[in-house]
Amino acid sequence: MKNLLILNKILKKWQSIVFVGLSFSLALPITIAWVCLGIGIGIEILIALTNTNFSYFKLYLKPLAKHPLFYPILSFGLINFFSGWLNGGISEGIYSFFSLKAMLILFYVLIVIRRYRPIKSVIFTSLIISGSMSALAGIMQQLFDWHFTKFKYLQATGLNTTPMNFAGEMQIYASFAIMLLFNKNYAKLGKFFDKKIIIIALSAICLLGLLCSCERSAIIGFSVATAVFIFMFYKNKLRLFMFIILAISINLIIPNLRLRLFSLWHWQNDVSVLVRLKVYLIALSKFLTSPLYGIGPRFFPHIYFPQIFVPYHESYLHHAHSNYLQILATLGIIGLIVYLWLMFSIFKTCFRQKADGVKLGIALATLSLMVSGLFEYNFGSGQIRLLQMFMYGLL
């Protein structure tokens, strides 16, 4: 019994280290994050097994059911299971359910944070540092045309592997840093990083990283969400116009972004826009074949577009390029209602008490991703979903 107690204490110390490592790895290629999460879950299982007073369930597992996101996430998992089952049998239902495995990170975070509440400041700092490092990599890519991916993208990829994943993560990191700054909550960060000048610099770096991604949907989503938040929470509307002027000025400085934004004026000749319109029509046609529970999470058709071929990647699309149309097509009306319930629950959690910079940052990031989700299936990205769910666990 004594040896188990000693082992339990050692495991808890290791868990805190792995947890910090996981928070840092979320800006890196997804394999690293999965390895950290796998190690963390393994250690947590050992902590539960070496718990000598058998209180683990009562202390850590039972409270999960009281979290405001527990039932929306469970419901979303169940609609994935039943849609897969009804369209492809029980095995397809199981595969569809486990396709949401990235959401598990939320419950892991809740358990670890419950045990180590003071570690939050370390986690906030780790997130800001890793996000800023990825943003700096993206800025360098645009300035010096340096890329470490096999294919030389027009957009930046940061420490990630694709522009869309990088842009989605930058939406989250920039929202988080800026809200900490505007609400003067940077004291929540660790030493050295709790100074105003430091958080101003890190916020600027994350924002520049987002702009250097040159992902139009992400930049539009972030701009709309920021404008909404300024009107809702800040009396001085002059800040909104300052933000717009600054954003326009920066956009003009980045050639690739300027090129992509200006091409929208002639959207009839923009390959990206035309492909999206075709995919939207296909998604709507699939929705009409099974409007209640969809065609199944993994049964969206593979659509071949030779004009968007990227070497070392698939030459076809297998999603609707929109969160809402993808969910409507694959999970039907029931799936879309559950998804909107999940999003509503996130906002409700952020604003149920006096919102601080952390909660406002998470809410801003969520709204930003929802707006850009009109034109991108960012909710289907494992990389973005891991970071999203990790942040929700910090609420």
Could you read off the pLDDT tens digit of each residue along the chain, which spans 395 residues? 677 777 878 888 899 999 999 999 999 988 999 999 999 999 998 888 887 667 777 878 888 888 899 999 999 999 999 999 999 899 999 999 998 888 889 999 999 998 887 888 889 889 999 999 999 988 888 777 776 665 566 677 888 878 888 899 999 999 998 888 877 777 777 677 778 888 888 888 998 888 888 788 888 888 888 888 877 776 665 565 566 556 655 555 665 565 566 565 665 666 667 777 888 898 999 999 999 999 998 888 887 766 555 554 556 677 788 999 999 999 999 999 999 999 999 999 888 877 677 888 999 999 999 999 998 899 988 899 999 999 999 88
Tell me the two tokens of residue 343. 């999003």
Give a yes or no: residue 308 inside a domain. no
Pick the closest to residue 253 from 221, 211, 196 (CA basis). Answer: 211
Calpha distance 264→13 (Å, rounded): 52
Please name the residues in contact with 11: beta carbons below 8 A apart, sequence gap of 6 or more: 43, 46, 47, 50
Give a yes or no: residue 294 inside a domain. no
CB distance 169 to 384 below 8 Å: yes
Give a yes or no: residue 296 inside a domain. no
Give a yes or no: residue 307 inside a domain. no
Give a yes or no: residue 304 inside a domain. no
How many structural domains comprise the chain?
1
Polymer length of the chain: 395
Beta-carbon count within 10 A of 355 CB: 16
Give a yes or no: residue 27 inside a domain. yes
Domain of 259 in residue numbering reads as 2-267+314-392
Calpha distance 186→196 (Å, rounded): 7
Predicted TM-score (pTM) above 0.75? yes
Give a yes or no: residue 275 inside a domain. no
Give a yes or no: residue 286 inside a domain. no
